[in-house]
Chains A and B, each alone.
Chain A
Amino acid sequence: KAGVTQTPRYLIKTRGQQVTLSCSPISGHRSVSWYQQTPGQGLQFLFEYFSETQRNKGNFPGRFSGRQFSNSRSEMNVSTLELGDSALYLCASSLEGFNEKLFFGSGTQLSVL
């Protein structure tokens, strides 16, 4: 069974640009959540999607957005990039998003110059 796949693995962007990250969950998993990991703030919840609907959202500015497609694949978009957006972006999938284990992808390392 394939794991959670995130693409691309690395990204380098400049301030003001926008970026789209992709996440393919484990087959059959309907919940996809996104996290930002930085050395200073640790792992922080961005948002969760379930059946193409955003179910929950963390405390991030509106520049961070996402969506989920009918096959449960998810994308997250960051517009008007800032230096502080440099981080490892992780997505995780689970069956229903309640009381099950989370399965993480390897992440996308975003560097904003």
Chain B
Amino acid sequence: KQEVTQIPAALSVPEGENLVLNCSFTDSAIYNLQWFRQDPGKGLTSLLLIQSSQREQTSGRLNASLDKSSGRSTLYIAASQPGDSATYLCAVKGTYKYIFGTGTRLKVLA
């Protein structure tokens, strides 16, 4: 049974810092991994999608890596801004559904 864990559960950093969010999963048989951002009381916004055959994806200040063999993914956020404050979730796609982690709640202080 696939389990997805995100550490840390919460993170508070000053503006401008580079930071890394972690996601680990127990079953390496995945089709893809997505990173999402969720603002309070809102839906999720897909940030990056990494196919199982890829090692990383980049979009602006965001970079996500995937290491299937070790069951790990990281989301790197460069030069963090207060607008980056949100909950970040990773999700892995198995045979027929996505399994979501519980998220990392990020607060970037001005």
- Residues on A close to B: CB < 8 A? 4, 6, 33, 35, 42-45, 48, 55-56, 58, 88, 90, 92, 98-107, 109
Contact = CB atoms under 8 A, between A and B. Distances in A.
Nearest to A39: B102
A103 B102 contact: no
Given A90-B43, A102-B46, A104-B45, A58 B97 contact: yes
Interface in B55-110: 89, 91, 93, 96-103
Nearest to B97: A45
A4 B43 contact: yes
A63 to B, nearest CB: 19
Summarize A's interface: helix, strand, loop or mixed: strand
Interface of B: 31-32, 34, 36, 41-46, 49, 51, 89, 91, 93, 96-103
Interface SS, B side: strand
A101 B93 CA distance: 11
A104 B41 CA distance: 13
Nearest to B99: A45
A6 B31 CA distance: 27
A92 B45 CA distance: 10
A90 B49 CA distance: 19
Contacts of A55: 96
A99 B51 contact: yes
A102 B44 contact: yes
B42 A102 contact: no
B31 A98 contact: yes
